[in-house]
C-alpha cells in the first residue's frame, strides 16, 4: 500500500484532483532521467528520452484517477516490488507541492540490504550530483536528491533489461503528505477515566504535525521537547492544525477553566514538526520525526496526516510496521477524509491504529475514509472517534484577533488525538502495556455505533469501559486472507478468538457474530459462524472460540467482514474479522516466441486493465513462458521484444492486442514473426529523421484509457502487428509522427492518426508536399547568450500523447520555419524554451511556453511569436485562487508573454503575503506560477494578497520585477469544498515590440489592457493605467480609451514601467506593476 500525493487528514484542503497541475506546461523528470511534459490541466502531452535511452518504449495508463508513465526498463523492478510506482505517477509529481519539494532534483529514499548493502550505500553517496539529505536507521536507508545519472547506479543491466543493483533493496519516492472539545471528551468517557485517577500522567505523546503553539495556556509547560523536520524554519505552528491536535490529546484546558480539557490532560507532549507552514511534509521528514519521537521515549505517536494509498508497501507503512513491532510504540493514525473505499497511507499500515470519525451523535462522518483498504486484508479503520466540529486550542495568529483561544475543526485528524489521549490513560493504568495491548483494549471496549466494520472498525472508542474492562481478546482483528474463485469447492476456514481475563473472578461470555458482505449488505446466513455461543474465561486465564468463514455461501464476490461481540459479567467485548471472496478470475498462460522462432527470454507483456480500476500486470519470464491470474475483464495486451535487450536502438518487435477478454482460462501465444516493418517519408529526401514515434490509445468505460508510446531513432527499427479482434466502437486510436530536419532553421513535422479498427500490422506512409503548412515561429529573448528550442506537437481526437518534435537549440532571438502536416484533422501547438548552456554543454531551461493546439492551412501565411514583452499575470481556465476550507490555494502564471502564451520562468526570488481585514495572516516564498498554500481561516472577511517576483537580469532584462495585488471579499467557509474566489487580472497585450522586446524610442503606441477573471465581460467598475520612466519613482497617468492605453515608448536604451488597476462592480480590485516592461531602441 503506497501513500502518495497527499490528501489531508482534516478535510481537505480541497479535492486536489479538481485543481490544475500548474499554471502552465511543465516538465516532470523521472528517476530514469526521462522527462514527461504536462500541460496546465495535468494532461500528459509529451515525452523526452534522456541521453542514451532513445528506443526504450514507454507505457501510459490511468489508475484511480492518476496517470502513470512507465519506461519499459522500470517495469520489472516495479513488478518485483523493488521500485516505488509513485516515481512514475505524473498526476502526483506534477502537483505544485510535489514540484516544490523536488525542485532541486527528485528526492528518493534508497534502502540497502544484504552483504552488498554497504558498498551500494557508498556508490549512491558518491554518484555525481547526488546530495545526501538524511539517513533513516529504521529502514537502513538514505534520503538523497538524485540526478538522472543515479539510475545507472541504482540499477544494473543494459537497455530494456535492468534489475536492482547489488545491495539495493528498495527505491521509494520521498513523497509528500498533508495535514489531513468539551463534548467530545465526554462522548468517549474520558471524565469517568479521570475520576478513576487516570489523566495520562507520566505518559509521552508525540504529536507529529504542523508544530505546536507552546505558549497557548492549554499547552504552556506541557511540551517537553521539540524538533523541526519540515521545510519551515522552526517548530512554531502557523497553520493551527498541530496545536488543535495536541490540545485535543493532552491540553490542560487552562484558557477555558477546564472546559476545553484534552483527553489526557497530564500527559507530556513531544512536538515534532513534520509538516511545513503550508501543511505539507515529506515521507523522509515524517519518518525522521517518528525516529526522533521513539528516541525521546514516546509511548504514543499521533499522525493526523496522510496521502493516497496503493497496493505497494510505502516507506511510512514499512517504518510503522517495523518500529511498532520492535518497540511497542503505538502509532495512532488518521484514516483520511476521502470517504468510501479510500483509507489513506500510513493509516493503511498493518501496524497502525487507524482512526475514523463520527459526529456528536455517533453517526459516521461523511468524509471519514472507510475500507476495505487497497489490497484488502485487515479491517481498517480499527476504531472511530469524535471528529466533527471539535473545539480545541487555536495557535496564535491562525484565527481572528480577539478570539477566545479556541477554534473548531473537523476531520479524522481531530478524531485521531482522541484515541492517542485515550491510549495515554490506559498506558498510565498499565505502564507495561505495549502497542498490541493498548490497541486490543481500546478496540475491544469500543461502543458499536451501528456501522459496518469497514466503516467504524470495532466502534467508537469508550475509554471509561477500557479502564475497567478485564476481558480482552488477544487479537482484536483477524485476517482470514483470500479464497480463490470459483467458490463452489471452497473449504471453510477458521481462526481462534482467544479471550484473556485479567480479573479475579471467572467470567461467562455469551457470543454472537454479525456478517457484512459487499455493498454493506448482510452476509448470507451461515457465512460466519462461531464454534460455540457461550464460553467461560477463567480468572487470570484464557478461553478460545473458533470463528469460521464459509465462502461457499451466497453468490456475491468481494470483501466480507464480521463483527463478533462477547458479553457477560457487565462487560462487552468486541472484535472484527475480514475475508475476501475472490472475484471471478482466471489463469492466463503466456508463450513468447522471438523473431528467430525460439522461445524469447526478452519478450515482455503487460496486461492493462480497461474496465476495472486496477494496476497493470507485468509479465516477464526468462524461459518465455509464464502463467498469471487475472480478474475477469477486458484488457489491453502490449507485448514487445527487443532484437537485443542490451541495445535499445537495435530494433523492436511489437505485438498489440487492443482487446483481450479474460472470461475463461486461456493460453496466449505471442510470436514476433507476425510483426511487419514500418516506413515513413517526407517530400525532401535529404531531411534527416530527428525523432519518430508511434502511439496508440484505447478508451474504456467512464473515460478510463490506456496507451503506449514508442519512439525510435529510425522507423526501420520498428516492426509491429495487431493481435486479436477488431475494435468497432471507435475506442481505438493510433498516431504516427516524425520530425525531419532539412537544416537548423527548417523542419518537417508530419503526423497521421485517428480512430482505427486495428493497430497497424506494418505501416507505410509517404507524406506529400501539398499536405504541409508553413509556420514561421519567432522566439524572443531580451538577454544575451540565450538559446531556444521549438517542439511542435500534433494532437488528434482521442490521442493522449501527440508528438514531441526534435529541436536544435539556436541562438536567440530567432525565427525558424516549421512545416506541419495538415491531414487527418491534425492540430498543432508549439512548446518553446529559452535555455542557458552550462559549462558542461547541458542546457538549463530559463523559460518554457506553449501555445494552444490549432489547425493550420496549406498556402496561408502563419506566424507564431513567443517570449516577448509585456510579461505579466494571466487568468485562464487553468489558474486562479481557491479557498480550500481554512486554506487559500493561489496559482497563476506571472510571466505570460505579450501574446498571452503561458508557461514558467526561472526567478531570483518571490514573496507572497495574505492579509485579512488589514492584518497579515500568511506569508510564502513561493511564486504563484507553481502555486502556493496560505492559511486563510474559515471566517468571512476582506482579503488582500500581494506578490512580488524578481527575475535575474542575466536571464531576462524585461519584466525584471512584477508586483501584483488582489483585494476580494469572501464569506465564511461552512464546508470543506473548493470555492473559486472572485479575482481578476489586467494584461498589457500585443505591445508592438521586436523579438528583443524593444520598441522605437519616443514613438507612441496603443497597448491593450486585457481584463480577465471576475471583472471581465462587462463587470468593470473602473480601469486606470500609469507609466514610469524612472524605475517607478514617479508615475504618469495614461489615457485609456476602449480598454487601450496610449503609451510613449522609452528613450533609447531606457525602459518603461507600466501599472494598471481594475475594480469590479462587487468591490474587488487588482493592481499589477511591471518594471522594465520593454526598452526603447
Residue 671 lies in a domain: no
**Is the pLDDT at 9 greater than 60, yes or no?**
no
Residue 863 lies in a domain: no
d(CA 690, CA 714): 9
With b for 16 or more beta-carbon neighbours within 10 A and e for fewer, the 283-302 pattern comes to bbbbbbbbbbbbeeebbbbb
Work out the pLDDT band at 15, boundaries 50, 70, 90.
very low
Q: Structural domain of residue 571, as residue ranges?
A: 478-483+486-581
User: Per the structure block, which three cell numbers stand in for 363?
Assistant: 453517526
Give the per-residue pLDDT at 10. 36
**In this structure, are residues 970 and 941 in contact, taking their beta carbons and an 8 Å threshold?**
yes
**Is the pLDDT at 473 greater than 90, yes or no?**
yes
**In this structure, are residues 61 and 43 in contact, taking their beta carbons and an 8 Å threshold?**
no
Other Cβ atoms less than 10 A from the Cβ of 693: the count is 25
Work out the pLDDT band at 4, boundaries 50, 70, 90.
very low
User: Which of 69, 71, 66 lies closest to 91, judged by CA?
Assistant: 66
Q: Are residues 423 and 496 in the same domain?
A: no
Average pLDDT value for residue range 1026-1053:
97
Q: Are residues 398 and 495 in the same domain?
A: no
Give the per-residue pLDDT at 573. 98
d(CA 14, CA 27): 24
Can you give the CATH number for the domain in which 564 is found?
Answer: 2.60.40.2310
User: Per the structure block, which three cell numbers stand in for 380?
Assistant: 481498517
Q: Are residues 382 and 523 in the same domain?
A: no
- What's the angle, vertex CA 240, arms to CA 238 and CA 244, rounded to 5? 150
- Alpha helices, DSSP H, located in 94-150: 96-101, 117-126
| 889-929 per-position pLDDT tens digit | 898 999 999 999 988 888 889 999 999 999 888 888 888 88
Work out the pLDDT band at 21, boundaries 50, 70, 90.
very low
**Is the pLDDT at 289 greater than 80, yes or no?**
yes
Tell me the percentage of the chain whose pLDDT exceeds 70.
Answer: 93
With b for 16 or more beta-carbon neighbours within 10 A and e for fewer, the 929-944 pattern comes to bbbbbbbbbbbebebb
| 321-359 per-position pLDDT tens digit | 999 999 999 999 999 988 888 899 999 999 999 999 999
Q: Please say which residue of 470, 500, 515 terminates a domain.
A: 470
| 404-430 per-position pLDDT tens digit | 788 888 889 999 999 999 999 999 999
Average pLDDT value for residue range 6-33:
51
Q: Are residues 459 and 499 in the same domain?
A: no
Residue 932 lies in a domain: yes
Contacts of 964 (CB under 8 A, 6+ apart): 872, 873, 894, 946, 947, 948, 985, 1070, 1071, 1072, 1073
Average pLDDT value for residue range 44-61:
80
Work out the pLDDT band at 1069, boundaries 50, 70, 90.
very high
Torsion on CA atoms 901, 903, 908, 909, rounded to nearest 10: 100
Average pLDDT value for residue range 653-674:
94
User: Per the structure block, which three cell numbers stand in for 121?
Assistant: 550505500
Q: Are residues 363 and 495 in the same domain?
A: no
Give the count of alpha carbons within 13 A of 392, CB side only.
Answer: 34
Q: Please say which residue of 561, 581, 601 terminates a domain.
A: 581
pTM as predicted: 0.83
The total number of structural domains in the chain stands at 3
**Is the pLDDT at 649 greater than 70, yes or no?**
no
| 459-469 per-position pLDDT tens digit | 999 999 999 99
Give the per-residue pLDDT at 422. 98
Contacts of 596 (CB under 8 A, 6+ apart): none
Q: Which residues are designated catalytic?
A: 209, 241, 413
Lowest pLDDT segment from 269-273, 714-718, 1034-1038: 714-718
**In this structure, are residues 276 and 232 in contact, taking their beta carbons and an 8 Å threshold?**
yes
The DSSP line for 737-764 is EEEEEEETTEEEEEEEEEE-SS--SSEE
Q: Are residues 439 and 551 in the same domain?
A: no
Q: Are residues 197 and 301 in the same domain?
A: yes
Residue 603 lies in a domain: no
d(CA 592, CA 669): 6
Give the per-residue pLDDT at 183. 57
Average pLDDT value for residue range 231-256:
93
Q: Are residues 439 and 531 in the same domain?
A: no
**Is the pLDDT at 619 greater than 80, yes or no?**
no
Residue 377 lies in a domain: yes
Give the per-residue pLDDT at 11. 31
Give the per-residue pLDDT at 25. 65
| 563-606 per-position pLDDT tens digit | 999 999 999 999 999 999 999 999 999 998 988 888 887 778 88
Give the per-residue pLDDT at 933. 79
User: Per the structure block, which three cell numbers stand in for 490?
Assistant: 471452497
Work out the pLDDT band at 403, boundaries 50, 70, 90.
low
Average pLDDT value for residue range 985-1014:
97
Q: Please say which residue of 522, 553, 581 terminates a domain.
A: 581
Q: Are residues 336 and 406 in the same domain?
A: yes
Work out the pLDDT band at 72, boundaries 50, 70, 90.
confident
Q: Are residues 463 and 515 in the same domain?
A: no
Q: Are residues 442 and 493 in the same domain?
A: no
| Beta-bridge partner residues of 36 | 28, 47
DSSP reduced 3-state for 631:
strand
Residue 358 lies in a domain: yes
Give the per-residue pLDDT at 102. 80
Mean pLDDT of the chain: 89
**Is the pLDDT at 847 greater than 70, yes or no?**
yes
Q: Are residues 490 and 462 in the same domain?
A: no
Give the per-residue pLDDT at 396. 87
Give the per-residue pLDDT at 598. 87
Residue 127 lies in a domain: no
**Is the pLDDT at 181 greater than 80, yes or no?**
no
**In this structure, are residues 81 and 33 in contact, taking their beta carbons and an 8 Å threshold?**
no
Can you give the CATH number for the domain in which 289 is found?
Answer: 3.40.50.200
Residue 286 lies in a domain: yes
Amino acid at each position: 500500500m503506497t501513500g502518495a500525493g497527499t490528501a489531508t487528514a482534516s478535510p481537505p484542503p480541497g479535492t486536489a484532483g479538481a485543481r490544475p497541475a500548474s499554471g502552465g506546461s511543465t516538465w516532470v523528470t523521472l528517476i530514469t532521467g526521462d522527462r514527461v511534459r504536462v500541460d496546465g490541466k495535468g494532461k500528459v502531452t509529451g515525452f523526452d528520452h534522456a541521453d542514451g535511452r532513445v528506443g526504450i518504449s514507454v507505457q501510459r495508463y490511468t489508475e484511480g484517477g492518476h496517470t502513470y508513465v512507465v519506461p519499459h526498463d522500470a517495469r520489472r523492478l516495479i513488478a518485483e516490488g523493488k521500485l516505488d510506482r509513485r516515481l512514475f505517477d505524473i498526476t502526483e509529481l506534477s502537483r505544485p507541492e510535489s514540484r516544490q519539494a523536488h525542485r532541486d532534483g527528485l528526492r528518493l529514499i534508497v534502502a540497502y540490504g544484504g552483504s552488498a548493502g554497504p558498498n551500494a550505500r557508498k556508490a549512491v553517496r558518491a554518484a555525481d550530483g547526488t546530495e545526501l539529505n538524511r539517513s533513516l536507521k529504521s529502514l537502513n536507508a538514505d534520503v538523497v536528491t538524485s540526478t538522472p545519472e543515479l539510475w545507472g547506479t541504482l540499477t544494473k543491466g543494459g537497455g530494456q533489461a535492468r534489475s536492482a543493483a547489488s545491495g539495493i533493496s528498495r527505491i521509494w519516492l520521498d513523497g509528500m503528505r498533508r495535514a489531513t472539545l468539551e463534548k467530545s471528551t465526554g462522548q468517549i468517557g474520558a471524565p469517568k477515566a479521570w475520576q478513576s485517577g487516570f489523566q495520562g500522567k507520566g505518559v509521552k505523546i508525540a504529536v507529529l504535525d504542523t508544530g505546536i503553539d507552546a505558549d497557548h495556556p492549554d499547552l504552556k509547560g506541557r511540551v517537553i521537547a521539540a524538533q523541526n523536520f519540515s521545510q519551515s524554519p522552526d517548530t512554531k505552528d502557523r497553520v493551527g492544525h498541530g496545536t488543535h491536535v495536541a490540545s485535543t490529546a493532552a491540553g490542560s484546558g487552562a484558557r477555558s477553566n477546564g472546559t476545553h480539557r484534552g483527553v489526557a490532560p497530564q500527559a507530556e507532549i513531544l512536538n515534532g514538526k513534520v509538516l511545513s507552514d503550508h501543511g505539507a511534509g515529506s515521507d523522509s521528514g515524517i519518518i525522521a520525526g517518528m525516529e526522533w519521537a521513539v528516541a525521546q521515549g514516546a509511548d504514543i505517536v499521533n499522525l493526523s496526516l496522510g496521502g493516497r494509498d496503493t497496493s505497494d508497501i510505502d516507506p511510512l507503512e514499512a517504518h510503522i510496521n517495523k518500529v511498532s513491532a520492535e518497540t511497542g510504540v503505538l502509532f495512532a493514525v488518521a484514516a483520511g477524509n476521502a470517504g468510501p473505499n479510500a483509507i489513506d497511507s500510513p493509516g493503511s499500515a498493518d501496524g497502525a491504529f487507524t482512526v475514523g470519525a463520527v459526529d456528536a451523535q455517533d453517526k459516521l462522518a461523511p468524509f471519514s475514509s472507510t475500507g476495505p483498504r487497497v489490497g484488502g486484508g485487515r479491517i481498517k479503520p480499527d476504531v472511530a472517534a469524535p471528529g466533527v466540529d471539535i473545539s480545541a486550542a487555536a495557535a496564535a495568529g491562525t484565527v481572528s484577533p480577539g478570539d477566545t483561544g479556541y477554534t473548531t475543526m473537523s476531520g479524522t485528524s481531530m478524531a485521531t488525538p482522541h484515541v492517542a489521549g485515550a491510549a495515554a490513560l490506559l498506558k498510565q493504568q498499565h505502564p507495561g502495556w505495549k502497542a498490541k495491548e493498548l490497541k486490543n483494549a481500546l478496540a475491544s471496549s469500543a461502543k458499536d455505533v451501528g456501522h459496518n466494520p469497514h466503516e467504524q472498525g470495532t466502534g467508537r472508542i469508550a475509554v471509561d469501559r477500557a479502564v475497567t474492562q478485564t476481558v480482552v481478546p488477544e487479537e482484536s482483528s483477524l485476517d482470514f486472507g483470500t479464497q480463490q474463485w470459483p467458490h463452489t469447492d471452497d473449504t471453510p476456514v477458521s481462526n481462534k478468538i482467544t479471550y484473556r481475563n485479567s480479573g479475579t473472578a471467572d467470567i461467562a461470555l455469551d457470543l454472537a457474530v454479525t456478517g457484512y458482505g459487499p455493498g454493506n449488505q448482510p452476509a448470507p446466513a451461515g457465512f460466519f459462524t462461531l464454534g460455540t455461543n457461550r464460553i467461560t474465561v477463567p480468572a487470570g486465564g484464557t478461553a478460545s472460540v473458533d470463528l469460521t468463514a464459509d465462502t461457499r455461501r451466497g453468490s456475491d464476490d468481494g470483501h466480507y467482514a464480521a463483527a463478533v461481540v462477547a458479553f457477560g459479567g457487565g462487560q462487552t467485548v468486541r472484535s472484527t474479522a475480514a475475508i475476501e471472496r475472490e472475484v471471478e478470475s482466471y489463469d492466463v498462460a503466456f508463450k513468447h516466441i522471438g523473431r528467430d522462432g525460439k522461445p524469447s527470454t526478452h519478450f515482455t507483456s503487460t496486461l492493462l486493465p480497461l474496465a476495472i480500476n486496477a494496476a497493470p500486470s507485468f509479465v516477464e519470464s526468462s524461459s518465455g513462458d509464464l502463467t498469471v491470474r487475472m480478474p475477469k475483464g477486458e484488457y489491453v495486451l502490449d507485448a514487445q521484444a527487443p532484437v537485443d535487450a542490451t541495445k535499445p536502438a537495435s530494433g523492436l518487435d511489437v505485438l498489440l492486442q487492443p482487446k483481450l477478454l479474460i472470461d475463461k482460462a486461456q493460453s496466449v501465444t505471442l510470436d514476433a514473426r507476425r510483426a511487419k516493418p514500418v516506413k515513413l517519408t517526407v517530400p525532401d529526401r535529404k531531411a534527416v529523421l530527428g525523432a519518430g514515434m508511434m502511439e496508440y490509445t484505447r478508451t474504456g468505460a467512464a473515460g478510463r484509457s490506456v496507451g503506449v508510446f514508442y519512439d525510435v531513432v529510425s522507423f526501420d527499427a520498428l516492426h509491429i502487428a495487431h493481435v486479436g479482434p477488431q475494435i468497432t466502437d471507435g475506442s481505438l486510436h493510433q498516431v504516427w509522427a516524425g520530425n525531419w530536419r532539412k537544416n537548423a532553421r527548417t523542419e518537417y513535422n508530419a503526423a497521421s492518426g485517428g480512430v482505427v479498427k486495428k493497430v497497424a500490422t506494418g505501416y507505410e506512409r509517404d507524406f506529400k508536399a501539398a499536405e504541409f503548412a508553413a509556420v514561421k515561429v519567432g522566439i524572443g529573448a531580451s538577454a544575451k547568450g540565450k538559446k531556444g528550442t521549438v517542439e511542435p506537437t500534433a494532437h488528434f481526437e482521442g490521442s493522449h500523447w501527440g508528438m514531441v518534435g526534435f529541436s536544435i537549440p539556436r541562438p536567440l532571438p530567432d525565427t525558424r520555419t516549421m512545416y506541419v502536416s495538415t491531414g487527418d484533422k491534425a492540430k498543432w501547438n508549439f512548446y518553446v524554451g529559452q535555455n542557458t548552456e552550462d559549462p558542461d554543454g547541458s542546457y538549463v531551461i530559463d523559460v518554457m511556453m506553449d501555445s494552444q493546439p490549432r489547425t493550420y492551412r496549406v498556402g496561408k501565411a502563419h506566424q507564431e511569436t513567443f517570449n516577448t514583452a509585456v510579461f505579466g499575470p494571466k487568468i485562464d481556465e487553468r489558474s486562479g485562487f481557491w479557498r480550500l476550507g481554512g486554506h487559500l490555494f493561489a496559482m497563476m502564471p506571472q510571466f505570460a508573454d505579450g501574446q498571452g502564451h503561458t508557461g514558467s520562468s526561472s526567478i531570483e526570488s518571490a514573496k507572497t503575503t495574505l492579509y485579512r481585514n488589514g492584518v497579515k495572516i500568511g506569508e510564502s516564498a513561493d511564486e504563484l506560477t507553481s502555486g502556493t498554500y496560505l492559511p486563510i481561516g474559515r471566517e468571512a472577511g476582506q482579503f488582500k494578497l500581494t506578490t512580488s517576483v524578481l527575475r535575474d537580469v542575466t536571464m531576462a532584462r524585461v519584466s525584471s520585477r512584477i508586483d501584483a495585488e488582489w483585494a476580494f471579499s469572501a464569506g465564511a467557509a461552512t464546508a470543506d469544498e473548493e470555492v473559486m474566489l472572485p479575482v481578476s487580472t489586467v494584461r498589457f497585450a500585443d505591445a508592438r515590440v521586436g523579438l528583443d522586446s524593444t520598441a522605437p524610442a519616443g514613438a507612441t503606441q496603443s497597448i491593450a489592457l486585457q481584463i480577465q477573471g471576475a471583472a471581465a465581460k462587462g463587470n468593470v467598475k473602473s480601469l486606470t493605467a500609469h507609466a514610469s520612466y524612472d524605475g517607478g519613482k514617479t508615475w504618469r497617468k495614461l489615457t485609456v480609451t476602449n480598454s487601450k492605453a496610449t503609451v510613449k515608448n522609452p528613450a533609447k536604451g531606457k525602459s518603461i514601467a507600466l501599472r494598471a488597476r481594475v475594480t469590479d462592480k462587487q468591490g474587488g480590485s487588482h493592481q499589477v506593476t511591471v518594471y522594465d516592461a520593454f526598452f526603447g531602441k
